[in-house]
Structure 1
Amino acid sequence: MTISKNKVVTMHYHLTNDNGDVLDSSQGAEPLLYLQGHNNIIPGLEKEMEGKNVGDKFKVTIEAKDGYGEYDEGLVQKLPKEQFAQFPELTVGMRFHIDSNYGPMVVQVDEITDSEVTINGNHELAGTRLTFDVEVVEIRDASQEEIDHGHVHGPGGHQH
């Protein structure tokens, strides 16, 4: 069976950046399951997965624009610290869900001064070129419910 739209793919991966730093890996853990053609994984990797078969092993480098996007300075904002008064334990690295002009998004606290808090709406891997070592473990047809919901159900997938 070949990877194409509406196939459930089981894969192992090892993700590094240009410095060779390991960013994520399924090695020694459960493999990743996703539904091809439903934006469950980054666009560049999903495109590279198309047409692959069980047992295929390959290495691919994904440019930032096809991964988590280019770094956008417009998503970094300094706000008065008073706006965070309800968070007495505010620390760098904390994440918040907010409603923005771009819709709902997650922001991270990047800096705290006596008067300001800098928040950042960029994904932590925005602007990063990513290299994946991939092994395709299994491919199956998705159920109609998985297709309707746009993600994998059951073991290794979403539980309803």
Structure 2
Amino acid sequence: MKYGIALGSNLGDRLENLRQAVVALLQSVPGSRVIATSAVYETDPVDCPPGSPGFLNAVIELEAELQPLDLLQHTRAIEAALGRPNEHEHHAPRTVDLDLLYADAAVVDHPDLTLPHPRMTQRRFVLQPLADIRADLRLPGEDRSVQEILDTLPISDEPPPRVYSLDWLDLGSP
């Protein structure tokens, strides 16, 4: 199954946190592989407490032979291992945030997980990196492609320039 996973970090060595999260995914999910990685964008925090530091955001597409709820458990364990408390204030600053965006054409409506991610189409910091790798993707229940949705977001929400190129994820050395 192919998964879109949004990665974010606004504490510590943000780029290293993103890299470590992907390495941990590959190490903890047998047979998984990264198919595509977006550029990394530096963005202002959205709906976070005042004074929160800026985020680095990216999206990867991961191929894995797990069901969505099983992959969710892996992402939560990785967040905890990289310093994000299990109990945390909503939108609090964090070392790493891993959000499942989609799982192929699956629709999931579970108390712990909704796929496609219910707010992703409203968030440029998710759609811009997703468009880097899957601009033509049409999510279940959506008539427009990721790029078409992105093009409808207000101009005032334009992201700052990319801060790292597509080669930010060096998997050669964990």
Compute the TM-score of the two structures, normalised by the length of structure 2.
Answer: 0.23
Name the larger-Rg structure. Answer: 1
Task: Considering Cα pairs closer than 8 Å and 6+ residues apart, tell me whether 1 or 2 has the greater RCO.
Answer: 1
Give the number of the structure whose residues are more often strand, by fraction. 1
Give the number of the structure whose residues are more often helix, by fraction. 2
Compute the TM-score of the two structures, normalised by the length of structure 1.
Answer: 0.24
